[in-house]
Structure 1
């Protein structure tokens, strides 16, 4: 919390919600020369901001102008508590809320999933797919556009997670399974899959997610290289087919008291021949 600001570095300390060096993307090589404290940019009760910041970072300047200096001692605050103090309880909660590090290998590579589909997911997670952004980094001069929505550049997260077409597919999965997958990242999707206690249903959901990623890539390639625009219904049929084939070979068992995988859900996935083995 800013008091007098004497002990707060204007550029590198987090007095603004986020360090200015990060907001302004200042190279790390210059950090050692940024020694000014907050009072260096104050004159009386007014801020005196460098001209280049006014030109290039008007939103930052607007926010700085609204920041008040109370004139007391500077102090460190913990942002996740109401009073700003870091108590033992707050420390414990922070440690216990750390995301679980998943062994994604065991989720992606499975005996009942075709290796080609697992390999596609593995490449997506390691950002090795030959998408526009990766090809441009390698010097290829190409049109930078998503072929599934034609309204955004083709980037990893957009194509597989946030594109209108992809979002619709993830919403369909949520509807079929009566769950809510967090599709902000692939890691969060598989983390939500891992939370299911029923092993067989978990396997089917993971398989469905992997087939969805593969289907998105297939639809993208069909549009780009063959000029064929596959519909949402066609994509769904492809996911149902692949998930049904994988599900029937699963050795896992389903508990009668676990996740309720109803006939309605089974039919929605096209898994009419999928038999659960109750424990």
Structure 2
């Protein structure tokens, strides 16, 4: 039997229709499902590769492919082709009804308003660009596809798609799950994703390590522990290390703890009660449950001031098992001694 080429040409590109029309089939035979086993990639990744192979999307979002997940990439393609179901798009399809922006509750919902003009979205952009010191003065505000040249010029092609992805997720939680959302939670998700990209080279195998050192009020080191761990990103390792540090302290009845962490995001997640990124939700739940039983003061310190713990984390990532000890190896002793000096010194 032959295909109807006229019908194929109405729904497919000419090249695709030509390839399909070459396939012969027998209408008298029943259809069968043919499954191809794939072990090198996920199903969603395979679908994404098949959908976008050979197609030139608006301003070619292939440049973002390595920085976006398959779901983000598909969503980005839908954004560029006006295929996300905002109220203005639904009206064009004949689905008319009352319209409001679910994030700001002030204006009608449209893609242009939703991503940049909405008060909620403006707060997200303001906080995020402030945290990462990003200058968007030369980037146009409004429809993303009209301003992609601007994003390309500052080498931040993937940033708008990351932000609008988390904005869209927040919008859906408000609309479909009746959940309360604030801009800080969206910023936290964007920040966690961006930090994962920044530190991705250090987590290509997802093998990491945790390291914690306990000191008394005079700064004297009491004991330390280190251990290997499998983690998605650096934020997750910090959360895991904090949880086990608190739990270990409680086991030996240290109920007043001052924790110094070199992750400002983790400090904000705990002290400001923000919504955590997906990959550390369980750890944040455990941390908040356990700190209700003790007195905890948590603060941020720069990595340069946390060399001893970072040294232990690196040692932990290269070991096969955890270790708790009060006998400090020489490199750790030097780092601990350096913390007490009032002059510059070299930390290795």
TM-score (normalizing by structure 2): 0.38
TM-score (normalizing by structure 1): 0.47
Higher strand proportion (structure 1 or 2): 2
